[in-house]
Structure 1
Amino acid sequence: MSKNFAIAIVGAGLVGRRHVVASRTLRDVDLIAAVDPSAQGHAFATENGVPCYDTLDELFANQTPDGIILATPTTLHVEQGIECIRRGCPVLVEKPIAVEASDALSLVREADRLGVPLLVGHHRRHNPIIRAAKDAIETGEIGNVRAVHVNCWFYKPDEYFDAAPWRKKVGAGPISVNLVHDIDLMRHLAGEVVSVQAQSVRSERGFENEDVAAALLTFETGAIGTISVSDSIVAPWSWEMTSRENPVYPPTSESSYMIGGSHGSLSVPDLRLWTHQDGQRDWWTPISATAMKCGASDPLVNQLRHFADVVRNGVAPIVSGWEGLRTLQVIEAIQNSCKSGRAVRISPLNGLGGSKQAAG
């Protein structure tokens, strides 16, 4: 009988704890250690019956995990990721992969150089809803994707910011904290983004960061995408409140994504496929929706199972380091466009030199 897949969790915060819960549901995955210097981290590790180390050095001196999950602050991802990779240990790093794309590139290239698997925790791609939507698009159910709209509106209470004052600072607004999830799914469902034009509005609560932003995205296919995000709007239209993915968010019956094609349209996450009768493609012809079916499973569990499959069986990562880097490029371009008021082109990764302002 083969040995179980042994993992260590680095960072025992909210996200790290969710990974621990996910690991407990898989019989062939063993949590063998945690890394977190805080008293809370050590207490959590004790509750779960595993040792807790203050540093990665201490972990590797005492344990040999098959894989590491990095659920630490984004500022630590590159340094810690490279340390794991240079020890030959595969890594699943939480999103975003890094603070800046140029730093993420060094991590991704090091993983490639040493041949060590590097995955990024854009877990929504592992949701059966997204798999069904992706299959419908790829099999031509809606024809050519022409436009995508994503809504990401919700209201974070004041105590959310008071509990962690860094959330009020520049760089900690909803563009960086929340939009990275939705941008990754836009790329996954509609293709690569080649340019963005964005605008943001300063926090109404007086914080240093933005609380409303919107962006127009151009995809390499010629499709257009629009996305709007706010953490200060009372609304039901966000992935968190429509997907039923995480039970801490009260569910609604709304959708947050609309994908428009030349032969039909798809709303997500309710997976309603809209087409005209008899394929007429005529606005005078009645249009109706068919509810697509898909199973239900925890994407974090699916992601962890996939991580084990990548490491043990050589399966290609669904979200590789390069994928995480491309998503971060788009986020950077949105931030730069908000600052400059100009359109920003996104450089190809084979010659990454950062995002560039478009002429004119």
Structure 2
Amino acid sequence: MAHLQRKESPVLRIGIAGLGIAGSSIIPAFLKHPNVQLSAAATRSKERREKFASDYQAETFHSIEELCQSSSVDAIYIATPTELHTEHVLLAAENKKHIIVEKPMAITLEDADKMIEAAEKNGVVMIVGHSHSFEPPIRKIREIVRSGELGEVRMIHNWYFNDWIYRPRTPEELDTQLGGGVTFRQGSHQFDIIRLIGGGLIRSVRAMTGVWDLTRPTEGSHTVFLEFESGAAATAVYNGYDHFHSTELTYGISEGGPVVSTDVYAKSRRTIDQVGRIEESQIKSLAGYGGSRAKQYDHAENHHPFFGLTVVSCEKGDIRQSPNGLYVYGEDKRYEIALPAAATGRDAVIAELYDAVYNDRPPVHDGRWAKANLEVCLAVLESSKQRKEIYLNYQTAVTD
């Protein structure tokens, strides 16, 4: 009897729009997926284009328009500044390219609607890369909550203290109107984690944001209370002013995965004090593709990343991350769930796109999910401004 030949899975050819920190950080995940080909990139930097073409024998372009028109690209990872996301998503969609766009997806709900409509009209998949909610520990917490083995979820907390506001920044990252500040840039991760664990449907937000250093004129902190439609409560606390770091509470493990030193107190603040704005932008550029400060994510993720301290309370127990996975505090015992460290959140982002394109599996992190996260970010800013509770209108449930 003749053996049936196994049909090979189709290859998804991906191009990267922007080779800064985000664009270069996801490259190892593209290379790891067996059915993804890293085929092109667009950047204004001649040096980065030449290095990328040499490293990956791939096409390079000066403009996003050229990248979107390439016949060698099926999908585009948009890692350009937030204020350009809408323009670049529309370009990609109109050229029938599938899309991963960095968070937050846009600055206004109106722009988010344009992006969703363009993707649907052109029949392409759009995923927003809130990569921290893709991490295995967060997904496992969601699995435990959904199973009901600890009863209903009642509280979710994510608290993160670090040096975000004093890391080298480009001007738009310090301008809230352009999507800068910790509420847009980092709160989008926090709210995504909290919404995923809690089922997605936030009822209302009450928040206060902080701009504590006028030389860095955007939100460097926020304290947020979120109420779910289910009655569960959540808090998101973020302080990026480089004093206490919550890695002291997370076994020294950072959001990138490696163990970091805890004896470099105020290093970022001291560095920024010593440089000017032009030099600061130059330092930031060195963290992009091929730069001397670029993070080596393919070597660095020795542990599951800790995006701050996450603690989840259910009726019959609590859950938090451990260095190897999760600690579960049940009614009768405390135990650890070990999770394989090989997979990362970025790997899951790529897998979700691939499965949506070729396996007809609806993505969790689609445009409407991302719009709901953006709605929370905007509500936090508005609640702080008005000093009152803001009710939400565009929340979506998790499609497990």
Query: Which residues of 2 match residues 74-93 of structure 1 at below 5 A?
Result: 74-93=82-101
- Structure 1: segments with no counterpart, 5+ residues: 278-287, 351-360
What secondary structure is seen at the aligned counterpart in 1 of 2:66? helix
User: Which of 45-54 and 137-146 deviates more?
Assistant: 45-54
CA 241–317 in structure 1, closer or farther in 2 if over 3 Å, else same: farther
User: Which of 19-28 and 127-136 deviates more?
Assistant: 19-28
Q: Does 1:13 align with 2:42?
A: no
Partner of 2:74: 66
Amino acid at match of 2:340: G
Q: Return the offset for 1:223.
A: 0.9
Partner of 2:295: none
Among residues 134, 148, 152, which one is paired with 1:126 in the alignment?
A: 134
Distance in 2 between residues matched to 1:324 and 1:316, nearest whole Å:
14
Q: Return the offset for 1:326.
A: 0.7
Distance in 2 between residues matched to 1:166 and 1:203, nearest whole Å:
18
User: Which of 200-209 and 86-95 deviates more?
Assistant: 200-209
- Structure 2: segments with no counterpart, 5+ residues: 1-7, 263-302
Q: Does 1:263 align with 2:271?
A: no
Q: Return the offset for 1:155.
A: 2.0
Q: Return the offset for 1:241.
A: 7.7
Distance in 2 between residues matched to 1:6 and 1:153, nearest whole Å:
38
Partner of 1:204: 213
Partner of 1:164: 170
Distance in 1 between residues matched to 2:171 and 2:96, nearest whole Å:
37
Q: Return the offset for 1:267.
A: 1.5
Among residues 17, 30, 40, which one is paired with 1:23 in the alignment?
A: 30
Deviation by residue 1:75-107 (Cα, 9 ceiling, x = unmatched) = 111111111112221111111111112211111
Partner of 2:287: none
TM-score by length of 1: 0.86
TM-score by length of 2: 0.77
Amino acid at match of 2:220: D
What secondary structure is seen at the aligned counterpart in 2 of 1:129? helix
What secondary structure is seen at the aligned counterpart in 1 of 2:192? helix
Q: Does 1:250 align with 2:260?
A: yes
Query: Which residues of 2 match residues 264-343 of structure 1 at below 5 A?
Result: 264-268=317-321, 270-277=325-332, 288-296=333-341, 297-343=343-389
What secondary structure is seen at the aligned counterpart in 1 of 2:26? helix
Indicate if the aligned counterparts of 1:104 and 1:325 stay in contact, CA closer than 8 A. Answer: yes
Q: Return the offset for 1:156.
A: 3.8
Distance in 2 between residues matched to 1:295 and 1:263, nearest whole Å:
26
Indicate if the aligned counterparts of 1:241 and 1:250 stay in contact, CA closer than 8 A. Answer: no
Partner of 1:354: none
Partner of 1:187: 195
Distance in 2 between residues matched to 1:214 and 1:244, nearest whole Å:
21
Indicate if the aligned counterparts of 1:152 and 1:238 stay in contact, CA closer than 8 A. Answer: no
Q: Return the offset for 1:245.
A: 5.5
Q: Does 1:230 align with 2:283?
A: no
Distance in 2 between residues matched to 1:239 and 1:86, nearest whole Å:
46
Partner of 1:282: none
Distance in 2 between residues matched to 1:181 and 1:272, nearest whole Å:
22
Distance in 2 between residues matched to 1:310 and 1:241, nearest whole Å:
36
CA 60–72 in structure 1, closer or farther in 2 if over 3 Å, else same: closer
Amino acid at match of 2:119: A
Indicate if the aligned counterparts of 2:158 and 2:311 stay in contact, CA closer than 8 A. Answer: yes
Q: Return the offset for 1:41.
A: 3.3
Distance in 2 between residues matched to 1:347 and 1:219, nearest whole Å:
12
Partner of 1:54: 62
What secondary structure is seen at the aligned counterpart in 2 of 1:271? strand
Q: Return the offset for 1:112.
A: 2.0
Q: Return the offset for 1:276.
A: 2.9
Amino acid at match of 1:22: A
Q: Return the offset for 1:176.
A: 1.4
Q: Which runs of 4+ in 1 moved over 4 A?
A: 237-245, 251-255
Distance in 1 between residues matched to 2:51 and 2:373, nearest whole Å:
32
Q: Return the offset for 1:33.
A: 0.7
User: Which of 341-350 and 4-13 deviates more?
Assistant: 341-350
Deviation by residue 1:110-132 (Cα, 9 ceiling, x = unmatched) = 22233221111112233221221
Deviation by residue 1:225-255 (Cα, 9 ceiling, x = unmatched) = 1111010132225999876662466289987
Indicate if the aligned counterparts of 2:33 and 2:347 stay in contact, CA closer than 8 A. Answer: yes
Q: Return the offset for 1:260.
A: 1.1
Partner of 2:181: 173
Q: Return the offset for 1:74.
A: 1.0
